[in-house]
Structure formats: C-alpha cells, structure tokens
Amino acid sequence: MPTRNPTEIIISVNGVTKTFVSGRGPNGKLCVLRGITLNVERGEIIAVVGASGAGKSTLLHIIGTLDRPTSGHVYYEGVNVFSLSDDDLARFRNERIGFVFQFHHLLPEFTALENTAMPALILGKKLAEVKDHALELLKEVGMEGRADEKPPKLSGGEQQRIAVARALMNSPKVILADEPSGNLDSANAEQLHRMIWDFSRKRGQTFVIVTHNESFAKQADRIVRIADGIIR
C-alpha cells in the first residue's frame, strides 16, 4: 500500500459521551459512549471495529455531526462543530464531510449522475455547473457508462460505487463510512476497499470506517477497537 505523510490533526474527539433514554439501563437511560477521546490525522484511514452494540455507529454519527453528544466536544481543524447553529452545522456537514453507508441511500427517482451531484445541488448549485465534475467522479469509480441509469436498474455493487462518488462530490476532507461493504459480495467488497485506499492516497482524504471485516480493517493505517462504549 502507498505510504502517507502524517501532517496534522484534522478531527479531535474529546471526552464524548452519549446517553439515550431507554428502559434497558439504570434510571431508564442507556449509556452507549462513555468518554471517547480520539485524534485523527489528515489523510489517515482508521478502521473502527467492535461487537454489535459497542457504540461504533453512534460514534461515527457524532463525528459526522448527524447526532449531538450528551457531553464532550468534536473539533474539525480547531472548529468546535457543536457550537455552530443548526443551519451552519448542516452547511458545514455538507461541505466538509462525505458519507458512505451500508445501504447506499440513493434516490430512486434520480439518475446516477443526479445522485452523484446531489450534495452540490443541496448547496444551491445548478446541475449544469457541476455535471462535468460529477461525470469525472463516476468515471473514477468505473460508472461513467451508467450515468443516465436510475438506481433500480443497477446492481448493489454499482449503487455503492455511485454512493462513493456522491460522497466525494463536494471534495470533502473527511469521508465517514458505516459498513460500506457489508451488503456486498466479496468481489465487489474488495473493489470498494481498493477504491477507498486509492482515493485516500491520491486526494489526501481522511477516512473513518466502521467495519466488521477484519481483513479490511487490517489494511487501514490504524484500528480503533470499541467495547462497552470506550476505546480499548
């Protein structure tokens, strides 16, 4: 695997906890994260592993600003993201963070090209402005020939490739992936893994990936293991 040159901390998670109201825990509360502290370097690929229910996806959602912590802070290049207003945080998320989930979450009524361009369209740009960039991303993931197809006509592997292209649309510095290959067969999973490494190395993008795939995890720059809501 090509090497990277560590430069600086891009994400800093400081003492993050997350508690949900639930009948399962003491006093009707369930503590999922119990004080997570984690620094992520620019261009690093981190694999987050652990048993189901350990708090991996909850941590990823908080790092991605999709959910707020009960306590603690998350900084992106020194910016305390949860001090932002809801509108500013939504814009920050769309501009600075890309997401790839186990289930692609493509919009079935839109073409592969339109789905890829969606993060830019949400920012208010016109499709004509970003079409060339979207097509280039589809080419990079090997889907340029399916740009006009809609998701129902595409295989699972093809849809996930488009989801990766969509995550890259706004040239985010950070890509967060939650079991991105969990719904793929081994051949498509391996292709997706290679794609992630290539994008990280070529573009200097940071990837934080939740995975149960130990083979995949071992290829990362670092493995973070979570058990009972803490890093082990």
Residue 199 banded pLDDT, cuts 50, 70, 90: confident
Share of the chain above pLDDT 90, in %: 45
**Averaged over 166-193, what is the pLDDT?**
82
Residue 217 falls inside a structural domain: yes
Give me the pLDDT at residue 26, please: 61
Residue 176 falls inside a structural domain: yes
Residue 155 falls inside a structural domain: yes
Residue 1 has pLDDT above 70, yes or no: no
Mean pLDDT of the chain: 86
- pLDDT tens-place string over residues 90-141: 989 988 898 887 667 789 999 999 999 999 998 889 999 999 999 999 988 8
- The CATH code of the domain that includes 177 is 3.40.50.300
Residue 1 falls inside a structural domain: no
128 versus 188: the higher-pLDDT residue is: 128
Please compute, for residue 98, the number of CA atoms within 13 A of its CA located in the half-sphere on the CB side: 27
59 versus 6: the higher-pLDDT residue is: 59
**Averaged over 64-91, what is the pLDDT?**
93
Residue 96 falls inside a structural domain: yes
Total structural domains in the chain? Answer: 1
Range of the domain at 78: 9-231
**Averaged over 210-226, what is the pLDDT?**
87
- pLDDT tens-place string over residues 34-69: 999 999 999 899 999 988 878 888 999 999 998 999
Residue 184 falls inside a structural domain: yes
Residue 135 falls inside a structural domain: yes
Residue 93 falls inside a structural domain: yes
Residue 80 has pLDDT above 90, yes or no: yes
Residue 25 banded pLDDT, cuts 50, 70, 90: low
